[in-house]
Structure 1
Amino acid sequence: MANATTLTDIMDPARAQALAVSLGMPDIADTMPPFFHQIYFWDPVENAGLGRDGHPKVGQGIMPDMGLPRRMWAGGRLEFHTPVRLGQIAEKTSAVDKTAHKEGRSGPLGFVTLRHDIHQNNKICVTEYQDIVYLNDPAPDARPATPPMARNDGEILLERSFSSTDLFRYSALTFNGHRIHYDLDYCREVEGYDGLVVHGPLLAQMLMLLAERALGPLTSFEFRATAPALHGEHIAFCLGTDGAMWVSGPDGRQCMQAVARI
């Protein structure tokens, strides 16, 4: 891939077990559960290279500067080709797949899609497309956008809340410095949230694990964040008879929608 970066990591079983414990999972075997690759391939940046939000500054590495101050993980698509083995070296190659500028209800938006390919033992294991959205700071008098409402015709696979400790652990394991997950003052005063935000990838991770438990080994998974879920809120993870999945908040809002395929 043009302008690609490549990272190599040993798939340390202890790190995977730490995530499993954090998520309330049983002990894992020698193959990595789906999406656990998020806790590997760290690419640390020195403090001077971080932006105000705790992310690495845009315009360095492969991340482009879209001219907007805020960014977040908006969704993604994954293809699972062959299991990643724990305790063995793997390689991740990343590159920008596409970029776009659009006009939203609250102003300009920038979209970047990254492609990540994970190889191990000369085989492609995972292909991932990661969608990132850039946006402006909220105006002081801005009204929150009205979130979509979740379906109510599915099976609830799990209900739980996430504490600030849960968010800290996931941030630490994924080496994610975004302050919306641990800095309450920053959440409220800069990015306009009412509380600490549950990581979109954490919600997607829970959906993937629940989908695999209910349906069997996944071949692909697609998800899109539609509204923030906040720490302490009672959240439901749901599966429809048509294979669709979603996450709903305590007020019935849809926080994420997804499709799992086996």
Structure 2
Amino acid sequence: MKQVHTASETRSDLIDPARARAFQAALGREPDIEAGMPLPPFFHQLYFWAVHPPDGLGRDGHPKLGGLIPDLGLPRRMWAGGRLRFAMPLRAGAPADRLSVVESAEHKHGRSGPLGFVTLRHEIRQGGELCLTEWQELVYRQDPHRDAPRPLAPVARTDETDAREIAFDSTLLFRYSALTFNGHRIHYDLDYARDVEGYDGLVVHGPLLAQQLMLLAGDLMGPLGEFSFRAASPLMHFETGTCCRNGPDLWVRGPDGRLVMSATATPVARGA
């Protein structure tokens, strides 16, 4: 059943260039962002932290549900995908505001059992001007049964014209969790990831995968006007992923050939 919620919240933050430089360094890029410079796309994930004391967290390290995001009664959270529309770049060194709205929340029943879907819309402004709009799609599900078969991941395309291999080790996952203040234990607590949520290792953050695809798209296509992505299967910390591109299509391929994430990039129109 689909439910429309009117819950919203606004957060303000200073777009600290030091945090952006730290992320550049974690990604193996030259840490050169200074005040007044534009941020690369998706770097806004480093800001607008949701800060809660320990008793405000759920078992997975995320803030407890029931505030902005409704509690759908399902314990496992995953970032399923998202869409971004870029109006103008955020500038380092200046304050910004983010309005977050729950657009919808619904229950469905899939092959693996009940599922909960939540769509958030974020609007980020700087100096009163809209810089970007982001739609974030979250999925909530039950804990896995130990004897349940794992779903088969789709096979990734192999017709890329450009490719970049990226190693996602535990150090990068730790640094990304710290820079985004993401307490989700599947990214740093190996026992929890394996024994509670049923993964083979630490899980690479969905937005970190999307970030790598956006950087690849920006390097090859120029400034982005829109970007959408969808997760297909998790990537573990001990695996090397291949970021691929063919025209507007991008994807991450796992070392066994499975599809990890797919995406579509649209560059800024010339003359815009």
State the TM bucket, normalised to the shorter chain.
over 0.9
Q: Identical aligned pairs, as a percentage?
A: 57
Deviates more, 1:61-70 or 1:110-119: 61-70
Does structure 1 residue 114 correspond to structure 2 residue 120? yes
Does structure 1 residue 246 correspond to structure 2 residue 251? yes
Instruction: Provide runs of 4+ in structure 1 moved above 4 Å.
Output: none
Does structure 1 residue 222 correspond to structure 2 residue 228? yes
Q: Map residues 95-114 of structure 1 onto 2, 5 A cutoff.
A: 95-114=101-120
Aligned 8 A contact 2:22 2:31 in 1: no
Q: Distance in 1 between matches of 2:162 and 2:201?
A: 25
Q: How far is the alpha carbon of 1:122 from its aligned partner? A: 1.1
Does structure 1 residue 205 correspond to structure 2 residue 211? yes
Aligned 8 A contact 1:150 1:253 in 2: yes
Q: Distance in 2 between matches of 1:187 and 1:94?
A: 29
One-letter identity of the residue aligned with 1:261: T
1:23 maps to 27
Q: Distance in 1 between matches of 2:102 and 2:32?
A: 33
Q: How far is the alpha carbon of 1:136 from its aligned partner? A: 0.4
* SS at structure 2 position matched to 1:219: strand
One-letter identity of the residue aligned with 2:26: S
Does structure 1 residue 152 correspond to structure 2 residue 158? yes
Does structure 1 residue 232 correspond to structure 2 residue 238? yes
* SS at structure 2 position matched to 1:230: coil
* SS at structure 2 position matched to 1:68: coil
Q: Deviations over 1:27-51 (max 9, x none)?
A: 3441111000000011201100111
1:12 maps to 16
* SS at structure 1 position matched to 2:217: helix
One-letter identity of the residue aligned with 1:44: V
One-letter identity of the residue aligned with 2:249: A
Match of 2:77 among 57, 71, 94: 71
One-letter identity of the residue aligned with 1:22: A
Q: Distance in 2 between matches of 1:55 and 1:119?
A: 25
2:56 maps to 49
2:270 maps to none
Q: Deviations over 1:152-190 (max 9, x none)?
A: 001243102111111000000000000000011101110
Q: Deviations over 1:72-114 (max 9, x none)?
A: 1111000000110100010001010111211111111110000
Aligned 8 A contact 2:6 2:103 in 1: no
Match of 1:194 among 193, 200, 205: 200
Does structure 1 residue 261 correspond to structure 2 residue 246? no
Q: Map residues 169-188 of structure 1 onto 2, 5 A cutoff.
A: 169-188=175-194
* Coordinate RMSD, CA, aligned: 1.1
Q: Distance in 2 between matches of 1:56 and 1:139?
A: 25
User: TM-score, normalization: structure 1?
Assistant: 0.97
Q: How far is the alpha carbon of 1:245 from its aligned partner? A: 0.5
Q: Distance in 1 between matches of 2:7 and 2:72?
A: 17
Count residues with an aligned counterpart: 260
Q: How far is the alpha carbon of 1:2 from its aligned partner? A: 4.0
Does structure 1 residue 128 correspond to structure 2 residue 138? no
One-letter identity of the residue aligned with 2:44: H
* SS at structure 2 position matched to 1:176: coil
* SS at structure 2 position matched to 1:25: coil
- Structure 2 unaligned blocks of 5 or more: 268-272
Q: How far is the alpha carbon of 1:3 from its aligned partner? A: 2.7
One-letter identity of the residue aligned with 1:56: P
